[in-house]
Amino acid sequence: MISKEAITKRFISYVTVDTESDPKSDSTPSTSKQWNLANALVEELKSIGMTDVTIDDNAYIMATLPSNVDHQVPTIGFIAHFDTTPDFTGANVNPQIVENYDGSDIVLNAAENIVLSPDYFEDLLLYKGQTLITTDGTTLLGADDKAGVAEIISAMEYLIKNPQIKHGKIRVGFTPDEEIGRGAHKFDVEQFGADWAYTMDGSQIGELEYENFNAAGVTVHVKGKIVHPGYAKGKMVNSMYIATEFINSLPRMETPEHTENYQGFFHLYSIEGKVEETVLQYIIRDHDKDHFEARKEVMQNITNEINSQYEREVIAIEIKDQYFNMKEKIEPVMHIVDIAEEAMKQLDIKPLIKPIRGGTDGSQLSYMGLPCPNIFAGGHNFHGRYEYVPVESMIKATEVICKIAELTATR
């Protein structure tokens, strides 16, 4: 049985190390502080008995658990990332432990009146009677994805201590910079050497995902002309008004707050504006490849139309693909999803097979030749002060890893 105390201690030791990534940095990892946890993980992997433990110049970690069966078994992998999002601070994380949660409000920070309430976060009620780890209301927690890291290492330690559980060769990998979209960029799939893998980077217990958004990032540069406002008639061109025209030309209801399930969206997440220049930052997301391409075309057509109206280029648009729906790469090898589903069922976990309204390292890795579905890590409300994780969910995720290894070796 996985020790509740041990996995809690391990998880807390990870989240109290600041590993926030930085999208403005060109280095890998994007912040030097990610090395602090990366180097500690290397030593921990060695200490529990993993072999071939390596860390490269970009902080990508790999290690091996050798097979303990005498027949040929596919090599499988488990992958998680150790950085946290730059969207909300991950410095000075002070985890709070709520034993035997009773379903009531949890006061995260009395001084600032920050409350984690089931009236707003209904999923809390799924975990009555369980042990929750929360924030203190001033930082994120880091369960995305340090819960996944803790689960993978705990599973490897358990398999090493229990050799009666049969398994083939298992590879584990930990990556930096997933939260800024670069987690798989320098991942050496050939060196990893797995036939397939699973990212432990999902949320609610039972989640099993092999579909994700197609994704693109869009930068819209709007050009204006600045002159003294007292003498501006017929001369000033206010880029912010033109930017507003662009924004209002997109379908208002096709935004994150109005969409769900397989519905795609345009998301304006940043505006920096002055009279002379305004810069809009968008992301485009859609599960359907044709719809995804159509969304990019819509934005280009709006650009062309506004430029035509002004009879010059007032808008320049740059669209960059980020990742694609891994469904295309997973469907030909659906047995890898079936194994994970069967593992959950054998552990009395109801599989929740649904599309990811986002992306994981697994989406990029699948297109790099490593089919890689995503499995729950247990956390909720990622990237903010209301993040929490039930300890029992982390234990179940650890058991799923062990069961997948066993099923792969005995099928």
**Confidence band for 359, pLDDT divided at 50, 70 and 90:** confident
- Please give the span between the terminal C-alpha atoms of the chain, in angstroms, as a whole number: 23
pLDDT at 99 over 80: yes
Region 102-120: mean pLDDT is 96
368-398 CB burial, b ≥16 within 10 A, e <16: bebbbbbbbbbbbbbbebbbbbbbbbbbbbb
Region 132-156: mean pLDDT is 97
Going by C-beta distance under 8 Å and a sequence separation of 6 or more, which residues neighbour residue 394?
Answer: 7, 11, 147, 150, 151, 154, 377, 378
Q: What is the pLDDT of residues 22-37, one digit of tens each?
A: 989 999 999 999 999 9
Going by C-beta distance under 8 Å and a sequence separation of 6 or more, which residues neighbour residue 363?
Answer: 212, 323, 324, 325, 326, 372
CA angle 272, 277, 279 (to 5 degrees): 40
Region 43-51: mean pLDDT is 98
pLDDT at 2 over 90: no
279-288 CB burial, b ≥16 within 10 A, e <16: ebebbbbbbe
Q: Where are the domains of the chain?
A: 4-212+325-410, 214-323
Helices and strands in the chain: count of H runs, count of E runs: 10, 17
Q: How far apart are CA 327 and CA 332, in angstroms?
A: 9
Give the largest Cα separation in the chain, rounded: 86
pLDDT at 44 over 90: yes
Q: What percent of the chain shows pLDDT beyond 70?
A: 100
Q: How far apart are CA 307 and CA 281, in angstroms?
A: 19
Which two tokens mark 18? 């600041």
The larger pLDDT score, comparing residue 354 to residue 394, is at: 394
Catalytic residue (one of 22, 178, 201, 387) = 178
Fold match, 4-212+325-410 / 214-323: no
Contact present, 315 and 306 (Cβ < 8 Å): yes
Region 75-89: mean pLDDT is 96
pLDDT at 343 over 90: yes
Q: What is the pLDDT of residue 275?
A: 97
Helix (H) / strand (E) containing 369: none
Cα Rg, the chain, nearest whole Å: 23
pTM comes to 0.89
Contact present, 171 and 193 (Cβ < 8 Å): yes
Q: What is the pLDDT of residue 193?
A: 97
214-323 topology per CATH: Alpha-Beta Plaits (3.30.70)
Catalytic residue (one of 18, 20, 44, 83) = 83
Q: CATH for 4-212+325-410?
A: 3.40.630.10
Look up 83 and say whether it is catalytic: yes
**Confidence band for 1, pLDDT divided at 50, 70 and 90:** confident
Q: What is the pLDDT of residue 357?
A: 87
Q: What is the pLDDT of residue 181?
A: 84
Q: How far is CA 399 from CA 3, 9, 39, 120, 155, in A?
A: 11, 17, 26, 30, 7
Q: How far apart are CA 304 and CA 142, in angstroms?
A: 42
Q: What is the pLDDT of residues 269-310, one digit of tens each?
A: 999 999 999 999 999 999 999 999 999 999 999 999 999 999
Going by C-beta distance under 8 Å and a sequence separation of 6 or more, which residues neighbour residue 266?
Answer: 250, 251, 254, 255, 282, 283, 284, 295, 299
